[in-house]
Amino acid sequence: MKIGFIGLGNMGAPMAANLAKEHDVIGFDPVAQPQGLKLAQSASAAAKDADVVITMLPNGDILRSVAKDIYPAMKQGAIHLDCSTVDVESARAVAAQALAAGLSAVDAPVSGGIGGATHGTLTFMAGGPVTTFATVMPLFDIMGQKAVHCGDAGNGQAAKICNNMIVGVTMIATCEAFVLADKLGLDRQAMFDVVSTSSGYSWTMNAYCPAPGIGPHSPADNGYQPGFASELMLKDLNLSQMAAIAADADTPMGQAATALYRQFVEDEDGRGKDFSAMLPRFESRRRS
């Protein structure tokens, strides 16, 4: 396949590099110029002859502007595969524009981070026509280990923000429980041994434990270097709340988690730290 890859940042560059081992890939990014990849001078030049154009961009506004730029240049019947994490509304808007332009679009945000992008082990959650999903499946196979079709346009983004809302809320619950346990004189290893095998178990406790030296190796064991940075968790929580407002869904825990991560990132020292650094944050505080 001929692939145009637009947005060659932390995630896009390694994903494009993996695809380039098996396909003809031409990339574009106004800033990043990764070595070893064929590069175009503009987004529309990268998109012009492509069977599939993949975008990996920071947000919905940039996605909309790139879509506006590249759709007139793309071949009829070509596919736009957006792997960025963006708001559901932007994903649905560009999918409608793609259809009107004689193209097909799939939103397929990812889980797995920079490590998953590098090692080709991402999970994709996809929204859009099932036939288009099937056509791009070989690309998912190269870039990832699993792809789930979640329904119509925007449903990939919906799955992503619902998942990450659970993870954000659960991380906070796990961290505050550790701090309560500390203050009650409960040993952290004992706390882990009980909770990880009891009804309080979760991914944040069992697989990504925020307490250093406890459980499997995690960013807590590496000075809270991300991993998954707190500001990226805040981005996804903000998207979950935008969607909840638009859909009139009552999400009080998601709302509280968004407020806490906003405070951590914007007013405290959370930016650049893994999102599990909520544990030392709680440790440094008292009940107010």
Catalytic residues: 160
Work out which of 25, 26, 50, 56 binds ligand NAD, going by CB under 6 A: 56
84 binds ligand NAD (CB under 6 A): yes
6 binds ligand NAD (CB under 6 A): yes
Question: Is beta strand 144-149 parallel, antiparallel or unpaired with respect to 122-126?
Answer: parallel
> Least distance (Å) from ligand NAD to the CB of residue 125?
11
Site residues (CB under 6 A) for ligand NAD, limited to 223-282? 228, 232, 235
Alpha helices in the chain (DSSP H): 12-20, 43-47, 60-70, 88-100, 113-119, 130-143, 155-183, 188-195, 203-206, 230-247, 252-266, 278-283
The DSSP 8-state label assigned to residue 250 in this structure reads -
Work out which of 39, 67, 70, 110 binds ligand NAD, going by CB under 6 A: 110
The answer to whether 216 and 192 are in contact (CB under 8 A) is no
Work out which of 22, 30, 247, 283 binds ligand NAD, going by CB under 6 A: 30
85 binds ligand NAD (CB under 6 A): yes
| Residue whose entry in the numeric block shows the structure tokens 């659960």 | 170
37 binds ligand NAD (CB under 6 A): no
7 binds ligand NAD (CB under 6 A): yes
Neighbours of 30 (CB within 10 A): 10
| Residue whose entry in the numeric block shows the structure tokens 């099937």 | 134
Strand 110-111's sheet: what is its strand order?
110-111, 122-126, 144-149
27 binds ligand NAD (CB under 6 A): no
Burial class (CB in 10 A: 0-12, 13-18, 19+), 105: buried
Q: Which is nearer to ligand NAD, 54 or 172 (CB)?
A: 54
Work out which of 32, 173, 186, 256 binds ligand NAD, going by CB under 6 A: 32
Q: Which range, of 106-114, 247-255, 257-265, 277-285, touches ligand NAD by CB under 6 A?
A: 106-114
Chain residues binding ligand NAD by CB under 6 A are 6-12, 28-32, 43, 56-58, 62, 66, 84-85, 110, 113-114, 228, 232, 235
